[in-house]
Amino acid sequence: MANKLEVRNLRISFRTVSGKLQAVRDISFDLKDGETLAIVGESGSGKSVTSKAILGILAGNAIIDGGEIIYDGRDLLKIPEDEFYKIRGDKIAMIFQDPLSSLNPIMRIGKQLTEAMILKGKARQKSCRKAFNEYLARLEKAMIKSNAANDPEKARSISEKCKNFDKFEGTHLKLETAYNSAVNNANEAIAEIENALFLIEKNAFKDEKNIISNICELSLGTVNDYVVSDDSAELHTLVSSLKTAASASKKSGNYDEVTANLNKINEILKAAIAKEMPNFFSMGYYLTFSGEPLPDLPVSELNQFLRKYLDDNYMLEFIEYVENALRDSAKEHLVKKEAVVKELKESLNTFRADVYSRPEIDTLVNKLVKDVHDSIDPMEINRDSTAYTFESSLRSAVEVYFNGEKQNVVETKRYEKQKASYDRKAARAGGELSWKVTPAAIVDLQLAKDNICTIIIRLTEHYEELLAQKDQRDYGEEAVAVIDYLKLNASGFANKVTRRLAKLRALKLMEEVGIPEPRKRYRQYPFEFSGGMRQRIVIAIALAANPDILICDEPTTALDVTIQAQILELINKLKKERNLSIIFITHDLGVVANMADKIAVMYAGKIVEYGTSRDVFYSPAHPYTWALLSSMPDLDTNEKLEAIPGTPPNMIYPPVGDAFAERNKFALKIDFEKQPPMFRISDTHSAATWLLHPDAPHVDPPKIVTERIARSKKNAGGDSNG
């Protein structure tokens, strides 16, 4: 399963009047396609800071001390805001804690739902057009190089094929745009008709003039060769009859004829949208180049005919050219990757040296960056995140080292000066002063070097893996994927999001998230909704752009227990239906028990335990996880809950050892002296506690935890898969 998002060695601080507060301290995790990752911890543990960093909405006093957040081949920490807005809300969306503060109190819900759809729709059209044009241009060059290197005539033929692809795509888009418009009109007309019939039944048909006028306009907009065609004359007659009946019923108060006409129109439109969709891609080619009218065939037979015509006259040969281009481009860049692997391994000698020379390092970095860039295959439609982010990651890591050298000198002098002043004043006062000397913010230069080496090693291993798999690639499949990629982007700029379409989608979203009477609710304000309904609206807004990743930042905190369960159930349902990848942030471990695939337990800015839901609930290893489990309410027992003693540490002055040591009754001496590393328990489970060290004494979890685990296993039928 591919990684949708990767967070590597993320470190975030905040400038405060009291000093630099370390909020997130070197955390790493990944989020796979269709997976739910729960990040659990007390307030102040760094959960929300992490999610805001992913979305690019950190406060102005935030400092990104290091790390990477990789999405779609880009490091989100290093892209400009004019690039980030294309991702935020569109590809990565967020549900916040308090739904009321997330909504504009003086704007109707409908507008809040459709506003983003319209804006993002325009941006998506532009990006799809750009992606289509750029890739087709690269493909043309690669096909000529591979198939017609020394044949000018064949090269001209290939160029002509690429121009023809663009040409018949234009016809395809006109056909598909007209079809989409007719189908959208039909769907909205059906929704309006059903709303009108409901109002008539309830004797609440007040604004009949505007409603009937809208239905008539939408219904006539469905006339299309492949939507409403044979029934178009009958539809025109029914629309005319509906207008007459509506005018008469307004005076008489009898809506029987109106109802009859609406039902007949509704029947025609429902039959229309149930029809099979033509293959407009193949049709575009046929109409552009055949010089013949379309044959009069049923849509299913027409699609077969058009596909065969396209394949015989264009596509099979085109795909063969594409396949050759992909194969030759891959071979060329795999050779470059082999050279880069050797170069990367040799560079480690320089990066592991005791002393760095800035000119030497800069020269080496520039060469590595250029060679890695040249080794990236431009014909691959899926961006290689590790290779694409190599430059930004390496340059950033090198800057951390050299800036750290300068900062260490400045900070050491500043600390020594403050310490001397403190000692003098303390001596005169005859005791400790009310203020403390801020510790020197020393950059660990060895760690900075290690981070540089990690970046080099990561790309080396990644390229070696690609080289080992080179004989397993199916270039025929990849060629078909390229055609699909071009078609997808072409359709992307054909699908214009109009206000009517946005409203229709908004109403469907409101139904999807469980809001009753969506047409009525569409025009209401946030204060007219309950807390649970407001949260459903916020979820609908987050889903409006059909994102890849959904971040849920304690979405149930402001809700009562019954509504919490409904919202969790809804999020789970939407995840399965839309194949969403979800990051779920909460302070309550019990909330995520039945929805998380993986759990990261955070404390004082660090991930202290990481594993599958089964690992964390059935085999917890960190004392902090034990404490969280001990403090969870349990309906199966009357035992007293165990509160976690003390408070989290002040992260302006982070502890030298394990941050949880002061509150941990199982703490060892070393916990107060040195931070524990992540100990690997299994392939999926790890924890940062000295209790896992081979020389540590054996310590069992508290009785309350072991008993809960036993009960959970029993309730699950003895199967720890839960």
Question: Are 691 and 699 spatial neighbours (Cβ–Cβ below 8 Å)?
Answer: yes
Measure the CA–CA gap between 119 and 625, rounded to whole angstroms: 43
Determine the 3-state secondary structure of 14 from DSSP: strand
- Do the bridges between strand 36-40 and strand 598-603 make them parallel or antiparallel, or are there none, so unpaired? parallel
> Which residue has 């009047």 as its token pair?
17
Q: Between 99 and 634, where is the model more confident?
A: 99
Q: Which residues pair with 39 in a beta bridge?
A: 585, 600
Q: How far apart are CA 410 and CA 19, in angstroms?
A: 16
Handedness of CA 418, 423, 425, 426 (dihedral sign): positive
Q: What is the pLDDT of residues 398-408, one digit of tens each?
A: 998 999 999 99
Q: What are phi and psi of 37, to 5 degrees?
A: -110, 125
Grouping H, G, I as helix, E, B as strand and the rest as coil, residue 166 is helix
Return the DSSP state at 468.
Answer: H
Higher pLDDT, 149 or 228: 228
203-212, 366-375, 456-465: lowest mean pLDDT where? 203-212
| Residue appearing with tokens 């524990």 | 676
Average pLDDT for 566-587: 89
Q: What is the pLDDT of residue 721?
A: 42
* Calpha distance 532→104 (Å, rounded): 17
Three-state DSSP state, 443: coil
Residue-wise pLDDT tens digits, 262-308: 999 999 999 999 999 999 999 999 999 999 999 999 999 999 999 99
- Confidence class for position 719, pLDDT limits 50, 70, 90: very low
For residue range 145-190, what is the model confidence (pLDDT) as tens digits? 999 878 899 999 999 999 999 899 889 988 988 998 899 899 889 9
- The band of 636, judged by pLDDT with boundaries at 50, 70 and 90, is low
pTM of the predicted structure, to 2 decimals: 0.75
Residues 505-533, mean pLDDT to the nearest whole number: 87
Residue 678, class by beta-carbon neighbours within 10 Å (0-12 exposed, 13-18 middle, 19+ buried)? middle
Pairing state of beta strands 19-32 and 598-603? unpaired
Q: Report the half-sphere exposure of 574 (CA within 13 A, side-chain side).
A: 26
Asked whether residue 720 carries a pLDDT value surpassing 50, the answer given is no
Residues of the chain above pLDDT 90, percent: 53
- Residue 9's Cβ-side half-sphere holds a number of Cα atoms within 13 Å equal to 13
Q: Find where tokens 């916040």 sit.
A: 96
Residue 22 confidence (pLDDT): 92
pLDDT at residue 392, rounded to an integer: 87
Average model confidence (pLDDT) across the chain:
89
Distances from the Cα of 477 to the Cα of 270, 376, 483, 520, angstroms: 37, 20, 10, 48
Which secondary-structure segment (H or E) carries 123? helix 109-147
Domain ranges of the chain: 3-106+525-592, 328-472, 622-715
Digit-coded pLDDT (tens) for 638-690? 667 777 888 899 998 888 899 999 999 999 999 999 999 999 999 999 999 99
Report the C-alpha dihedral over residues 630, 632, 637, 643, rounded to 10 degrees: 50
323 C-beta neighbours (distance < 10 Å), count: 21
- Please tell me the distance from the alpha carbon of residue 233 to that of residue 245, in angstroms, as a whole number: 18
| Cα–Cα distance for residue pair 621/684, rounded to 1 Å | 13
- Res 222: pLDDT: 95
What was the pLDDT predicted at 558?
67
Helix extents (H) in 352-498: 358-375, 385-388, 390-429, 445-468, 475-494
Phi, psi of 598 (to 5 degrees): -130, 155
Q: Of 252-256, 529-533, 544-548, 666-670, which has the strongest mean pLDDT?
A: 666-670
| pLDDT for res 371 | 96
Report yes or no: 651 and 605 within 8 Å, Cβ to Cβ. yes
Q: Is it the case that residue 637 has pLDDT exceeding 70?
A: no
- Residue 169 to residue 305: CA distance in whole angstroms: 18
Residues 6+ apart with CB under 8 A from 56: 76, 81, 84, 87, 88
pLDDT at 99 over 70: yes
Instruction: Report the relative pairing of strands 606-612 and 549-553 from DSSP bridges.
Output: unpaired
For residue 223, give the DSSP letter: B
- Which pLDDT does position 722 carry in this prediction? 40
pLDDT band, residue 211 (cuts 50/70/90): confident
Write down the pLDDT at residue 501. 79
The distance from CA 151 to its chain's CA centroid, rounded to whole angstroms, is: 46
Structure tokens at 205: 């048909």
Q: Which CATH architecture describes the domain 3-106+525-592? A: 3-Layer(aba) Sandwich (3.40)
Question: Among candidates 137, 139, 138, 6, which has minimal Cα distance to 74?
Answer: 6
CB 125 within 8 A of CB 308: no
Confidence of residue 205 (pLDDT cuts 50, 70, 90): confident
Closest by Cα among 39, 159, 189 to 553: 39
* Integer Cα distance of 394 and 516 in angstroms: 52
Two tokens at 346? 């040799």
State the Cα–Cα distance between residues 553 and 568, nearest whole angstrom.
12
Is 717 a residue whose pLDDT tops 70? no
Residue 598 is which amino acid? K
Cα 496–chain centre separation: 23
Average pLDDT over residues 477-485: 92
Place of tokens 């469907």: 508
